Amino acid sequence: MTSYFDLKDFLLDQKYHLYIAADAQPFLNKRVKGTMTTQVAAGGVSVALEPVARAGNAVFISRGKTIEDKEILDKNGIITVNHKDPYTLRRIFLPQEDLDGYYNGFSNQTLWPLCHVAFETPIFSNIWYEKYKKVNSEFAHALETTPYNGAEKAAKVYFINDYQLSLVPSFLKKTPETIISLFWHIPWPTWEVFRILPQKKEILQSLLQCDFLAFHRDYHVRNFFSTLRRELAVRIDEEKKTVHFGNHATVVKSLPMGIDTDVIKSLSTPEDSGLLTHFIKSIFRVEKEKIPHEDFFNNTKVILGVDRLDYTKGLTMRLTALERFLEKYPRFLGNVSYVGFLALSRENIPSYQMLKKTVREKAREINKRFGTKQWKPVHLLPGVFSRQELISLYTHAAVCLVTPLDDGMNLVSKEFVIASSTTTNPGALVLSQFAGSATDLTSALIVNAYDTEETADAIAQGLSMDQNERKERIMRMAATLEEQSVYAWSKEFLRQALAAAKENRGVNV
């Protein structure tokens, strides 16, 4: 088992500086009632990379969002994050026009729908692509120019993250002292889908500038290889998982990401910190201070959802399945409620605005159909909540519903398993077979997220499952996740990146 401290020791020993680049920043700054606060981001990439940055005393390049994000930086656009284990955060700020093209446009209306099988049509625009290119070159420039805060080391590892930054490798200078690596956090589609992208060749060629490239799952690597074979004159050594293109070689592997198990466990405290009582009061609008919260959760079974508001997360299908469940299993009426944490996301994009409306309307419809004066079957909670709040609900939910239509990995399903493994009465996990995590979490109740009948039945099965069976299933899955934490993942990623650069370019670090 690799802990945060193992990762830290490992990184300390390395002869390179770690540079992380990701669009998503680890936290944002906001002034609340005159006081500067930090808010943890609700998104898989930022949540996962923050501990890696800390452990590696890294330079982290990301995109700033708020006025306060800018205000707290020094004149070079940098801040040393004052943690016990400090790291350097450099924020890039984009004018609206660049943001529209790079982020709202090419990243999230072209690449995101293209790579997820959620039947949202990608939109193609050269104007967006030009902005995407421009911003990617700015990220590359920031990687090359941001000074490292600490003792001089011989080399640099660039650890680039995700589809927003696919062109960054093409803008970086290749030297014997730099190692270029990229992790693609979302699915890689089949060639039949990817081939429609007008800029496909430039993106593929850029990715092949990396020494090491990784995806969550093997089926993503297979899709990537078949795309390469159809689009570029490559030679692929299947044995070594190495793609030869021109005079460069890139190792491409699957490396399923894990979660920060240590943090989740430390936040899964059984004591009521007042948080749950507060939740019970605010969500269910009942005065329950006098009733121990355990009693409350015995009488009201909570079906939990934690998602970014995104069409890939299957929220409309999920609510339809819930409706079917209430219809088919009336014995649960009045004593089961769905609580959906919804982190609003990409709010400037029309399809996300539409989804917000659809999800709200569906929830209203279900509440009207089944609700009573005393009981509401669906509670949607838009906003960003603290990790402590999410985790306290993970540990008290009877069922956690994770039903994406397509998802590279899905960290929520893993967080739920680890958090509930700390309780004596864990809930059941209903998980879509289309989440990358379904390959790891085989003791979940696995469903086809498009099959609302099957999902409705799985909800009923989860709620009726005997405590011993729930415990056994959760413990089996938790054991796997302990081995695959985010610390083990990042250590392995960096180890493989270095090995690839040594093997193929003779980089000697």
Binding footprint of ligand GDG on the chain (CB under 6 A): 40, 42-45, 47-48, 185-186, 257, 306, 308, 341, 343, 384-387, 390, 407-412, 415
Which has the closest alpha carbon to 220: 239, 247, 193? 193
Minimum distance, C-beta of residue 472 to ligand GDG, in the bound complex (Å): 25
Tokens 């920043």, located at residue: 25
Minimum distance, C-beta of residue 231 to ligand GDG, in the bound complex (Å): 24
Minimum distance, C-beta of residue 493 to ligand GDG, in the bound complex (Å): 12
Closest to ligand GDG by CB, 183 vs 225, is: 183
Shortest Cβ contact with ligand GDG: which residue?
A: 44
Closest to ligand GDG by CB, 392 vs 410, is: 410
Minimum distance, C-beta of residue 401 to ligand GDG, in the bound complex (Å): 13
Query: Which helix (DSSP H) or strand (DSSP E) does residue 201 occupy?
Result: helix 200-207
Minimum distance, C-beta of residue 95 to ligand GDG, in the bound complex (Å): 25
Neighbours of 126 (CB within 10 A): 11
User: Could you give the strand order of the β-sheet that contains 445-447, starting from the edge strand earlier in sequence?
Assistant: 378-382, 336-343, 301-308, 399-402, 428-432, 445-447
Residues 6+ apart with CB under 8 A from 445: 428, 429, 430, 431, 458, 461, 462
Residue type, 430: V
Minimum distance, C-beta of residue 183 to ligand GDG, in the bound complex (Å): 8
Closest to ligand GDG by CB, 204 vs 411, is: 411
SS3 letters across 315-370: HHHHHHHHHHHHHHCHHHCCCEEEEEEEECCCCCCHHHHHHHHHHHHHHHHHHHHH
Distance, in Å, from the CA atom of 36 to the CA atom of 289, rounded to the nearest integer, reads 31
Which has the closest alpha carbon to 410: 386, 393, 434? 434
Closest to ligand GDG by CB, 73 vs 381, is: 381
Closest to ligand GDG by CB, 162 vs 457, is: 162
Closest to ligand GDG by CB, 326 vs 429, is: 429
Closest to ligand GDG by CB, 262 vs 457, is: 262
Minimum distance, C-beta of residue 12 to ligand GDG, in the bound complex (Å): 25
Tokens 């306290």, located at residue: 392
- Bridge partners of 49? none
Distance, in Å, from the CA atom of 349 to the CA atom of 389, rounded to the nearest integer, reads 28
Closest to ligand GDG by CB, 386 vs 508, is: 386
Minimum distance, C-beta of residue 344 to ligand GDG, in the bound complex (Å): 9
Take residue 315 and report the two structure tokens written for it: 């929220």
Minimum distance, C-beta of residue 156 to ligand GDG, in the bound complex (Å): 23
Distance, in Å, from the CA atom of 307 to the CA atom of 280, rounded to the nearest integer, reads 20
Minimum distance, C-beta of residue 432 to ligand GDG, in the bound complex (Å): 11
Reading phi first (left if > 0) and then psi (alpha if -120 to 50, else beta), residue 347 is in: alpha
Closest to ligand GDG by CB, 26 vs 169, is: 26
Minimum distance, C-beta of residue 232 to ligand GDG, in the bound complex (Å): 26
> Quick one: how far is CA 373 from the chain centroid?
37
SS3 letters across 380-395: EEECCCCHHHHHHHHC
Closest to ligand GDG by CB, 116 vs 156, is: 116
Closest to ligand GDG by CB, 417 vs 507, is: 417
Most distant CA pair in the chain: distance in Å? 71
Query: Which helix (DSSP H) or strand (DSSP E) does residue 58 occupy?
Result: none
List strand residue ranges (DSSP E) for 55-196, in order.
59-63, 78-81, 87-92, 155-161, 178-184
Closest to ligand GDG by CB, 183 vs 245, is: 183
Minimum distance, C-beta of residue 290 to ligand GDG, in the bound complex (Å): 29
Query: Which helix (DSSP H) or strand (DSSP E) does residue 502 occupy?
Result: helix 486-505
